Amino acid sequence: MIQSMTGYGKAVAVYGNKKIYAEIKSLNSKAMDLSTRIAPLYREKEMEIRNMIAQVLERGKVDFNLWTEEDAATTATPINGELLNAYKEQLEAFSEEYHLPLSPITLLPSLLRLPDVLTKNETKTLEEDEWAVVKAVVTEAIDKLVDFRKQEGAALEKKFNEKVDNIESLLHAIEPYEKERVENIRKRILDALEKKLGVDYDKNRFEQELIFYIEKLDINEEKQRLTNHLNYFRETMREGHGQGKKLGFIAQEMGREINTTGSKSNHAEMQNIVVKMKDELEQIKEQVLNVM
């Protein structure tokens, strides 16, 4: 089944007093191009997270973001009340001793600026229980992106089948003009010999040369190879996934056969059909770039 390289996934979980968010999105790219933004507490697991993403997504320009939101009441910096009161008593004693007035308006801001009144948060370490929750959130976000890719891939596969069928129909539409083309070439050469040049010619030799000339314009091999490429394209789409590069190579080969058919056509209607085939193929090539 085809997967697109375009996708999006987001997951959230609750651990203690915090919410943990994982968000991942991807666009088409020739290889894995992964950029990450990870909350400081989880950075020690960055390589493991990168491996989780790369193993599943394989290709694409991927942006991954992992962050947390905590309850403001639990993240507020605590005030050391005992130390604050001790500083207050010292300032009041100092004010009384040296007869310096204390302003109630400026007293509290001044106290809060004194050393260690605002207790710094302790350095946090990542517990195994929390990492298990984070890992599950990352996995869920990746899975949602894969589901998105599969939905996009189904739409691409439907489009590809439509375009391949159109090329095949156009290829069959060429057939009625092939016999007509041979007869037109024969008449044009005869007219040139009899009416314009007015020369005698060996009819047997003429037929031999005509056959040789027509063989150079024969497109049966191109038609057969193009048919094979169309069938191979369909078969490749039914493979597991990761067919993007392979489908791109097949599309290139299809283009070669269509171009050669056009150069050999020597017939207005056939060339018009070839132009339509090229248009269908260009649409395939554009979309193949999005296939993983």
Name the token pair of 80.
Answer: 């050391």
Q: Are residues 49 and 106 in the same domain?
A: no
Q: Are residues 170 and 128 in the same domain?
A: no
Q: Judge whether 117 lies within some domain.
A: no
φ and ψ of 60, to 5 deg: 125, 160
Helix, strand, coil shares, percent, the chain, to 5:
65, 15, 20
Q: Are residues 90 and 178 in the same domain?
A: no
Q: How does pLDDT run across 5-52, given as a tens digit for each residue?
A: 999 999 999 998 899 999 999 999 988 999 999 999 999 999 999 999
Q: Judge whether 118 lies within some domain.
A: no
At 115, is the secondary structure helix, strand, or coil? Answer: coil
Domain that holds residue 102: 79-112
Q: Are residues 223 and 135 in the same domain?
A: no
Report whether pLDDT(74) > 80: no
Query: DSSP strand E in the chain: where?
Result: 7-15, 18-27, 32-38, 60-70
Q: Judge whether 17 lies within some domain.
A: yes
Single-letter code of the amino acid located at 271: Q
- Greater confidence (57 vs 117) lies with 57
* Strand duo 60-70 + 32-38: pairing: parallel
Q: Judge whether 2 lies within some domain.
A: no
Q: Judge whether 67 lies within some domain.
A: yes
Q: Are residues 201 and 245 in the same domain?
A: yes
Q: Are residues 207 and 145 in the same domain?
A: no
What residue has token string 């283009």? 255
Q: Judge whether 235 lies within some domain.
A: yes
Structural domains of the chain, count: 3
Q: Judge whether 1 lies within some domain.
A: no
Q: Are residues 22 and 97 in the same domain?
A: no
pTM of the model: 0.71
Q: How does pLDDT run across 112-131, given as a tens digit for each residue?
A: 777 776 765 555 788 999 99
Q: Are residues 222 and 134 in the same domain?
A: no
Residue 222: CA atoms inside 13 Å, Cβ hemisphere, count? 22
Q: Are residues 158 and 281 in the same domain?
A: yes
